[in-house]
Structure 1
Amino acid sequence: MLERLFPRRAPAPKPLPQPNAQLALGALLVRVALANRQYVVSEVAQIDRILAATFGLKPLDAAKLRAECERLERHAPGTPEFTAILREEVDYEHRRALGDAMWKVALADGIRDDMEESQLIAIEEALGLSDDDIEAARKNALGSL
């Protein structure tokens, strides 16, 4: 009865971590996967594989990182802030590889989606990738469908 009169307050949410290159990449991968408003297991698994390979993580650690990136993506700044972090901390060749990785996430469900593609191209442009590199990544990714 007392709980109805004096309900417990929800605990304060944990503060968001300060984005770094690792979290920015993960959040952008999640953002690409969510662009079509669907987030399927194949996309989640692809994100985990990319995070594990990129940062040398064990599968469980990659899944934990992805979960943190999902939370950050929901509540954190927009794409320009994330891409700015990556432009500052990651050299061009590795940013180009990130573009390729994002295409793998966008196509992980085996479906080509215009919303995911437009989100992805906007991210690649914000990462400072050249038009030629963006087009090459797109053609390479679509060739594997």
Structure 2
Amino acid sequence: MLRALQDLFAPLLKATGQQDAPPDDHTLQLATAVLLVEVMRADRQFPAAERQHVLATLARPFPMNEDERDTLLAHAEGVANDATDFHQFTSAINARWDEAARLRMVEAMWSVAFADGHLDAHERHVMWRLADLLHVKHPQSMAAKLRAQAAAGVGDGHAP
């Protein structure tokens, strides 16, 4: 099963740069999962709350069963470990999602960052870079951050 998923995601993993056709659904799923994993890994801690939040976040835009989500997340973790930059993943999302969908993605990433109850400097930095690569303007990203922070119930003192 993992081999079949790797075959489906092969276009994303090519180091050749631009693709002629927009990314397919599987590539988009992997790109989304990898970015969520990058936010989860940013503080170098891996609390179960963040992992569960990533799984729940993946369920919203992508209809798949629990085993498929677990497999996608495991594969995304491996791909994230081998990735040298975010461009290949953000490019796939930018090619398929409009501005509103990319803003929802940024808010989802902020919510993963807040899932453990705090936001550290590495998480802020990763979020700044990803929002920029997703062409989400700083004011919109900050508004998304505040919504995610409020939803997580994290006080103002924890996340400047």
What TM bracket, shorter-length normalisation? 0.7 to 0.9
One of 116, 121, 132 as aligned partner of 2:123? 116
Between the two proteins, the alignment pairs up a number of residues equal to 132
Q: What letter corresponds to residue 47 of structure 2 in structure 1?
A: V
CA, structure 1 residues 129+121, in 2 after alignment: closer, same or farther (shift >3 Å)?
same
Per the alignment, residue 4 of structure 1 pairs with none
Per the alignment, residue 18 of structure 1 pairs with 11
One of 23, 30, 50 as aligned partner of 2:57? 50
**CA drift at 1:114:** 1.5
How far does the alpha carbon of each residue in 1:54-73 deviate from its partner, in whole angstroms, 9 at most, with x for none?
A: 10122221111111111111
Residues in 2 aligned to 1:108 and 1:17: alpha-carbon distance in whole angstroms: 31
One of 82, 85, 91 as aligned partner of 2:98? 91
**CA drift at 1:76:** 2.8
How far does the alpha carbon of each residue in 1:57-114 deviate from its partner, in whole angstroms, 9 at most, with x for none?
A: 2222111111111111111341122111111121111111000110111111112211
Residues in 2 aligned to 1:57 and 1:110: alpha-carbon distance in whole angstroms: 28
Say whether the 8 Å CA contact 2:108–2:148 is kept in structure 1: no
> Which structure has the larger Rg over C-alpha atoms?
1
Per the alignment, residue 62 of structure 1 pairs with 69
CA, structure 1 residues 90+77, in 2 after alignment: closer, same or farther (shift >3 Å)?
farther
TM-score, with length taken from structure 1? 0.84
Residues in 1 aligned to 2:73 and 2:43: alpha-carbon distance in whole angstroms: 19
Gaps of at least 5 residues in structure 1 are 1-13
Residues in 1 aligned to 2:83 and 2:149: alpha-carbon distance in whole angstroms: 30
Q: What letter corresponds to residue 105 of structure 1 in structure 2?
A: V
How far does the alpha carbon of each residue in 1:19-61 deviate from its partner, in whole angstroms, 9 at most, with x for none?
A: 2211111001000111111111111101110111210122221
Gaps of at least 5 residues in structure 2 are 1-5, 13-26, 155-160
Counterpart secondary structure, 1:54: coil
Moved over 4 A (4+): none
Superposed CA RMSD in Å reads 1.7
Per the alignment, residue 9 of structure 1 pairs with none
| Same amino acid, percent of matched pairs | 27
Residues in 2 aligned to 1:106 and 1:41: alpha-carbon distance in whole angstroms: 13
